[in-house]
Amino acid sequence: MSLLSQEVPIELGERSYRIVIGGGLLGDSLTYGALPRANAALIVSNTTVAPLYSSTLKTALAGRYSRILEVHLPDGEEHKNWQSLQLIFDVLLEHGCDRKTVLFALGGGVVGDMTGFAAASYMRGVPFVQVPTTLLSQVDSSVGGKTGINHPLGKNMIGAFYQPLQVICDLDVLATLPAREFSAGLAEVIKYGPIADMDFFDWLERFMDDLLIHDGGALAHAVRRSCEIKAAVVGQDERESGLRAILNFGHTFGHAVEAGMGYGVWLHGEGVSVGMVMAAEMSCRLGLVDSVFVKRLVALIRRAGLPIRAPILDSADNAGRYLQLMRGDKKSEAGEIRFVVINRPGEAVVMSAPDALVREVIDTCCQ
């Protein structure tokens, strides 16, 4: 394993695991040294990532597993569904895979969420490893055990909490990530500042330009600090009975954008970025933060190459359409929409808000 690699522990009792972060991890067999041996491993990837990285992973795993199977799913958020999940189960069953088979999720959040859900449900649970290849999946989706698929009526509506055995964040693979996807990942990095750590937010303001040119040291710090914050939150509230909901800052509005535009049109991170602007605007209108804070957040999001204005979803009743979509989100309770607002910079709370205020925010923030 690279001497420069770093580890972030995630403390969940018997489900504890390590997030390993560094360069050159993917192809180094030592990276996988602590994983259980088994007859078979299945690498789940997609048609974009597999040609780039699956042979490297396969070679590194060759000494540990006598059979290494692969399945390449269609690429895209619109394929995060039952049909793709079924492709994973087809391979597992056709090859007689037993319950010790280890699944490796090699890809972004879509592959990771689906592989985790397949692992949670195949034979009522088989081990899996997250090998995230997007910035977003390295700093967020691969950590914490949320797995699942979309339903045409709502995002991530079907799934399970199921923790991986290990998360392997090889920073080198980010070199092939399209710039738009890299920026989408930065949205989830930026998120951690307002909700948990304004020193990290200050650091992002100083080093955003280094991140945008993939400076190794800056990337390592951003991924590690993001994972540390997420690990601390998940360690206290694994199944989102309270605190973990703060990680959804920007997601209530953001999921409405993603669903309202049609999955895949706006990237998840792009939805989150305008969602954060809207949630910050709401926090300001509630008197919790000042306009200086909102301006700083907007400026950082813009510098990251992300959108700051939300799209019009319905020219006849735009705010009504947002409200309708947000009521259908799984974070709403008995039809009451829940928003993560910034209580003060570096601290978030979850609350509901009157429709009139939500409409004002939407009207202010939409194009």
Distance CA 159, CA 135 (A): 22
Q: How far is the CB of 181 from ligand NAD (least distance, A)?
A: 5
Q: Which of residues 128-167 bind ligand GLY (CB under 6 A)?
A: 140, 144, 146
For ligand GLY, the closer CB: 145 or 307: 145
Q: How far is the CB of 59 from ligand NAD (least distance, A)?
A: 17
Distance CA 33, CA 63 (A): 10
Q: Which residues contact 262 (CB under 8 A, 6 or more apart)?
A: 78
Find, among 213, 208, 222, the residue nearest to 138 by Cα: 222
Find, among 42, 269, 16, the residue nearest to 167 by Cα: 16
Distance CA 286, CA 180 (A): 33
Q: What is the DSSP string of 251-281?
A: HHHHHHHHHHH-BTTB-HHHHHHHHHHHHHH
CB crowding 153-180: b at 16 or more within 10 Å, else e:
eebbeebebbbbbbbbbbbbbbeebeee
For ligand NAD, the closer CB: 46 or 318: 46
The one catalytic residue in 46, 150, 248, 318 is 248
- Which span sits near ligand GLY by CB under 6 A: 26-34, 175-183, 241-249, 346-354? 241-249
Query: Catalytic annotation on 124?
Result: yes
Query: Catalytic annotation on 240?
Result: yes
- Which span sits near ligand GLY by CB under 6 A: 33-41, 47-55, 114-122, 240-248? 240-248
Which of 68, 223, 247, 337 touches ligand GLY (CB under 6 A)?
247
Query: Catalytic annotation on 81?
Result: no
Find, among 146, 236, 143, 247, the residue nearest to 190 by Cα: 247
Q: How far is the CB of 211 from ligand GLY (least distance, A)?
A: 20
Query: Catalytic annotation on 268?
Result: yes
For ligand NAD, the closer CB: 161 or 203: 161
For ligand GLY, the closer CB: 146 or 255: 146
Query: Catalytic annotation on 230?
Result: yes
Distance CA 282, CA 242 (A): 21
Q: Which residues, listed in sequence order, are joined to residue 9 by a DSSP beta bridge?
A: 18
The one catalytic residue in 230, 258, 270, 318 is 230
Question: Do residues 313 and 286 touch, judged by C-beta distance below 8 A?
Answer: no
Query: Catalytic annotation on 99?
Result: no
Contact code string over 199-238 relative to ligand GLY, x by CB under 6 A: ----------------------------------------
Residue 177 binds what, of ligand NAD, ligand GLY, none (CB under 5 to 8 Å, by partner type)?
ligand NAD
Query: Catalytic annotation on 151?
Result: no
Measured from the Cβ of residue 85, the count of other Cβ atoms closer than 10 Å reads: 21
Question: Do residues 134 and 218 touch, judged by C-beta distance below 8 A?
Answer: no
For ligand NAD, the closer CB: 61 or 174: 174
* 72 near ligand GLY (CB under 6 A): no
Find, among 35, 40, 58, the residue nearest to 98 by Cα: 40
HSE, side-chain direction, 13 A CA sphere, residue 100? 10
For ligand GLY, the closer CB: 91 or 157: 157
Residue 75 binds what, of ligand NAD, ligand GLY, none (CB under 5 to 8 Å, by partner type)?
ligand NAD
Which of 45, 48, 134, 248 touches ligand GLY (CB under 6 A)?
248
Q: Which residue in the block uniquely carries the two structure tokens 């991530």? A: 156
Residue 248 binds what, of ligand NAD, ligand GLY, none (CB under 5 to 8 Å, by partner type)?
ligand GLY
Q: Which positions touch ligand GLY (CB under 6 A)?
A: 140, 144, 146, 244, 247-248
Which are the catalytic amino acids? 124, 146, 188, 230, 240, 244, 248, 251, 255, 268
